[in-house]
Amino acid sequence: MSFRLATLMALLPTCALAIPDDAPFSNPARLNTVRPAAIEANWTSMKMPDGGRTAFASVNYMMAFDDDWGFGPGFYGTAKGNYGGIFTVGFTGQRRWRLSSNTHLAASLYVGAGGGLSSAVTRFGGGLMLRPELSIRTENGGGWYTGVGISQIRFPSGNVKSGVGLAFTVGRAMDFASFSPDDAGMPGRSGRRTGLGFDEIALIGGFEKPRPSSRTRGGTPYAGKVGKAGGELRQYIAEGSWWGVEAAGAAKGGVDGYMEVLGQIGQDWSLFGTPRLRVGGQFAAGLGGGGNVDTGNGWLLRAGPTLRWITPWGPTVRMDAGFTYAPSGAYTAPFVRAVLAMPLDRTPTLIGDDPGGTVRVQQLGTSVMHLTRVRFKDGRQEGVSHLAINMAREFSPHIYGAAMAGSAAAGSAGAYSFGLFGLGLQTDPLWGHTRVGAEWLVGAAGGGGVKVGGGAVTQAEVWAQWRLAERLRLRAGVGQFRTLRGSDQSSPLTHLQLSYAFGTLQR
């Protein structure tokens, strides 16, 4: 597969329309943009500085920038050996060349930040990670492709570096359909999902109570509860059936720096004949570790019942319970958590049956943040720079939701990571296409020797945003970062963000 539009035209059953307020749905105001996109999973083996062997597993989402170039966010985590808990998040850029009707050559560069399990022998430095790759891919039909190539993983400011070795790829071609961000506030219809293709975004908060058999990496039993905070993206494939991705970090319990990323599937059914009240179950599998939690090679399994109430006003409230289990580690814990989900889209219907919705702007981008006064557990204080991926979605012209996940990339806080979620306010465009606004985020953070108490943190910011092109936005802001409980951490911050903006339907 190349990123050329013609290769995906067979996947485009309908188009989405945006319609002015005073026009019927039969008269389109403008067609949406449809670009090729792909989800790729990679596996890269490497030798660590302490002599042990591990492998990084990854998931990358890429959207075509033009006929040959693609870009998008990615995540890497260790999935082999006794190294569970090494994570990075970042962005991948990729160039593709068509070699034959079913073969292409791809050159990729991943730039991310993170780390974990640092020691006197294994050092991640500031946390910046680079992974170049050159691979040949074969397309197998149905949008699927497989590939093999060579790659290298390195943390330039630390001593973690692999040799040039084999890397394996499995990918799925899809498409990215969206309205122009200039259509914001207009009614529209679509016979397909728009944007990233998820139906819900959710905030998660809960507790786990480790079993007596659970241990730290040093062999010490756990005492007390572990609090977690995170987020979830979910797509419904049929009524009551879904798949999704979730990410969370420790926010309480003395395991700051713990992080997990899992894929999930589930099914629920109406309760007492009420379609809005539903009971069912879900299963999740993925990677987790850090915070001195012994997850072995990093693989986690999670399963349990779920109770979901779809409110008449749009949001969904959910209660989940069950068990988290590390098959190769020493961690088993029952959990309970509360979830608040906001609708993004819904299962596609034929365009003639679609009641339509309102076009809202969504943004996906990358951030560089600098905290001028970060406190460490050993008493020192210094500046640290972070690299993050971010997503924002308008709920109305002046209110939006925001999510951000990232890690330290410069300084001496390698392996420090964070995830933040919250709300923001923004003005109408001023002075041409300039906006100003403010946002407040809360979440979890830890690792890298940074002093964050239990891990619950908050960040407030005021910002100004400039439109560089129809879909390109540049934002600069200043604010404050601090721990939610006590005064373990408080630092001024500066924030520079580059985002790709697109229109999606709010239905």
Strands (E) located in 79-118: 87-100, 103-115
Residue 163 has pLDDT above 60, yes or no: yes
Summarize pLDDT for 386-418 with one digit per residue, the tens.
Answer: 999 999 999 899 999 999 999 999 998 888 999
**CB 146 within 8 Å of CB 170:** yes
Query: What does the alpha-carbon distance between residue 135 and residue 217 come to, in Å, rounded to a whole number?
Result: 37
Summarize pLDDT for 171-194 with one digit per residue, the tens.
Answer: 999 988 888 898 888 888 777 788
Residue 23 has pLDDT above 60, yes or no: no
Higher-pLDDT residue of 325 and 15 is 325
Query: What does the alpha-carbon distance between residue 485 and residue 499 come to, in Å, rounded to a whole number?
Result: 32
Q: What is the pLDDT of residue 432?
A: 79
3-state secondary structure of 5: helix
Residue 184 exposed, middle or buried by CB count within 10 Å (0-12, 13-18, 19+)? middle
Closest C-alpha to 166, from 297, 39, 46: 46
Structure tokens at 499: 């985002």
Q: What is the pLDDT of residue 13?
A: 38
CA angle 507, 242, 237 (to 5 degrees): 65
Say what percent of the chain tops pLDDT 70.
92
Query: What does the alpha-carbon distance between residue 269 and residue 187 come to, in Å, rounded to a whole number?
Result: 32
Query: Could you count the other beta carbons within 10 Å of the beta carbon of residue 121?
Result: 11
Q: Which domains does the chain have, with CATH numbers?
A: 5-178 (2.40.160.20), 198-343 (2.40.160.20), 357-506 (2.40.160.20)
Tokens 């999930």: give the residue.
264
Residue 381 exposed, middle or buried by CB count within 10 Å (0-12, 13-18, 19+)? exposed
Per-residue pLDDT band at 351 (split at 50, 70, 90): low
Q: What is the pLDDT of residue 62?
A: 93
Q: What is the pLDDT of residue 369?
A: 96
Query: What does the alpha-carbon distance between residue 307 and residue 320 come to, in Å, rounded to a whole number?
Result: 7
Summarize pLDDT for 296-322 with one digit per residue, the tens.
Answer: 999 999 999 999 999 998 899 999 999
Q: Which amino acid is at 174?
A: M
Helix ranges, 115-235 (H): none
Q: What is the pLDDT of residue 15?
A: 42
**CB 267 within 8 Å of CB 241:** yes
Most confident of 253-262, 449-458, 469-478: 469-478
Q: Which amino acid is at 257?
A: G
Q: What is the pLDDT of residue 22?
A: 40
Query: If you average pLDDT over every residue of the chain, what do you get?
Result: 88
Summarize pLDDT for 200-259 with one digit per residue, the tens.
Answer: 999 999 999 999 999 998 889 987 889 999 999 999 998 899 999 999 998 888 888 899
Backbone angles phi, psi at 323, to 5 degrees: -130, 140
Per-residue pLDDT band at 156 (split at 50, 70, 90): very high
Say what percent of the chain tops pLDDT 90.
65
Tell me the pTM: 0.88
Per-residue pLDDT band at 66 (split at 50, 70, 90): confident
Structure tokens at 432: 């041409």
Q: What is the mean pLDDT of residues 123-147?
A: 94
3-state secondary structure of 10: helix
Query: What does the alpha-carbon distance between residue 380 and residue 413 come to, in Å, rounded to a whole number?
Result: 12
Alpha-carbon distances of 19 from 145, 429, 487, rounded to whole Å: 37, 21, 51
3-state secondary structure of 351: coil
Residue 14 has pLDDT above 60, yes or no: no
Query: What does the alpha-carbon distance between residue 32 and residue 177 come to, in Å, rounded to a whole number?
Result: 7
Backbone angles phi, psi at 181, to 5 degrees: -60, -20
Higher-pLDDT residue of 487 and 328 is 328
Query: Could you count the other beta carbons within 10 Å of the beta carbon of residue 470?
Result: 12
Residue 487 has pLDDT above 80, yes or no: no
Alpha-carbon distances of 14 from 152, 356, 506, rounded to whole Å: 41, 14, 18
User: Which residues lie across from 30 on neighbouring strands?
Assistant: 18
Give Cβ neighbours of residue 351 (< 8 Å, ≥ 6 apart).
14, 189, 190, 191
